Amino acid sequence: MNHQGTRTYNFNAGPSALPLTVLEKAQQELIDFRGSGMSVMELSHRSATYEEVHNQAIANLRKLMSISDEYEVLFVQGGGSTQFAMVPMNFLTPEKKAAYIMTGAWSEKAFSEAKLFGQVYQAASSKDSNYRYIPSLDEVKFEASDAYVHLTSNNTIFGTQWREFPNTGDVPLIADMSSDILSKPIAVNKFALIYAGAQKNLGPSGVTVVIIRKDMLELANKNIPTMLQYGIHAKNNSLYNTPPTFGIYLLGEVLNWVEETGGLDALTKRNEEKAKLIYDAIDQSNGFYYGHADVNSRSLMNLTFRVKDEELEKKFLAEAKKEGFVGLNGHRSVGGCRASAYNAVPYEACKALSQFMVSFQQANS
């Protein structure tokens, strides 16, 4: 526990921190949602009261991400992981290949899932460096005849993030943005499809956002299970079956919070400042701390680093835990430390962590 009352410094990789004001509002509205005499979870998903929540969330996301009318915004279930299968099921036809850019564990999962449905190949990979960097744009090789090119915009486990996306021309570009959606402005119109589980930047787990260009819906395979067809969700405004109503409500409130705290530009600036606090602590430590990611591929969302020797690293993690920092252990596949500084992680939490890093170094060198 720390200086924010009972709220801890939450650096979890996902599910992760939500804005306190959103939680408080949800608490206040829980029992009697806007005069309905019931909670939002108890409303019919066909009621006008719920539909307003649903449509408002879509409208807010459209506005914040500048999503044009050429795109549908969908809410589906099954997490980012179901999208790994849904994308090839819908778009990987027998005569085409899909190109995957490999930048980490989530790209690998997307790739192996797509293999179940057709021909896939690697358009570029940074695996031989243990995914320390994002391949340069001219390393990315794909064919004009490909069904699509797939990339992971932010690599949650390795702590790398794309700065600039490849131009794929007429080949649809598809991105898993689970861990950096809405963390900075993105040119949505570069993409044919964007998907993201909500539990990192947008809300609780259980809702997955899909932003899909309408022409893709015509291309999509219709001989697959109904619930796995993007077109069905699009045609029914994501109300074909019961959507995760409470999660969508919270997602909408998170988007209101983004708006109320200055919108996407202000949020981007906060994210940059937050990440800088921690990267500065690493870079100014004379090697006491060192990053996993190459400097020019560093993520603003997941900051991965090591302490110079393993004993000290254990001690660092143990002491950090005692000081109320949660979620700093790196993913089991990379080890070390990872601070996930998603949108809702307060500046103060990052400030406290960077101060802790400096004082730990002073006490242990």
Ligand X SMILES: *Cc1c(COP(=O)(O)O)cnc(C)c1O
Residues that bind ligand X (CB under 6 A): 14, 79-81, 106, 152, 156, 176, 178-179, 197
In terms of CB distance, is 14 or 244 closer to ligand X?
A: 14
Q: Check whether 106 is labelled as a binding-site residue.
A: yes
Supply the minimum distance, in Å, between the C-beta of residue 101 and ligand X.
Answer: 13
By beta-carbon proximity to ligand X, the closer residue of 160 and 178 is 178
Q: Is 12 annotated as a binding residue?
A: no
Closest CB 89 distance from ligand X, rounded Å: 16
Lookup: tokens for 231 = 């077109």
Q: Which residue is nearest to ligand X (CB)?
A: 79
- CB 301 to ligand X: min, Å: 9
* Complex with ligand X: residue 79 or 336, whichever CB lies closer: 79
- The two tokens of residue 103 are 């930048």
122 is in an annotated binding site: no
The least CB distance from residue 223 to ligand X, in Å, is 25
The response to whether 176 counts as a known ligand-binding position is: yes
Strand partners, 74: 210
Cα dihedral 309/314/319/324 (nearest 10): 120
Residues 6+ positions from 19 with CB-CB distance below 8 Å: 254, 257, 344
Instruction: Report whether 156 belongs to an annotated binding site.
Output: yes
Which one, 43 or 101, has the nearer CB to ligand X?
101
Alpha carbon of residue 100 to chain centroid: 18
Alpha helices in the chain (DSSP H): 20-29, 48-64, 79-91, 105-115, 214-219, 230-235, 245-260, 263-283, 310-322, 347-364
Q: Which of 235, 239, 185 is nearest to 212 (CA)?
A: 235
Residues classed as catalytic = 106, 176, 200
Name the β-bridge partners of 239. Answer: none
Order of strands across the sheet that contains 289-291: 289-291, 302-307, 337-340
> Which residues fall in the annotated binding site?
46, 80-81, 106, 156, 176, 199, 241-242
> Which residues fall in the annotated binding site for pyridoxal 5'-phosphate?
80-81, 106, 156, 176, 199, 241-242
> Which residues fall in the annotated binding site for L-glutamate?
46
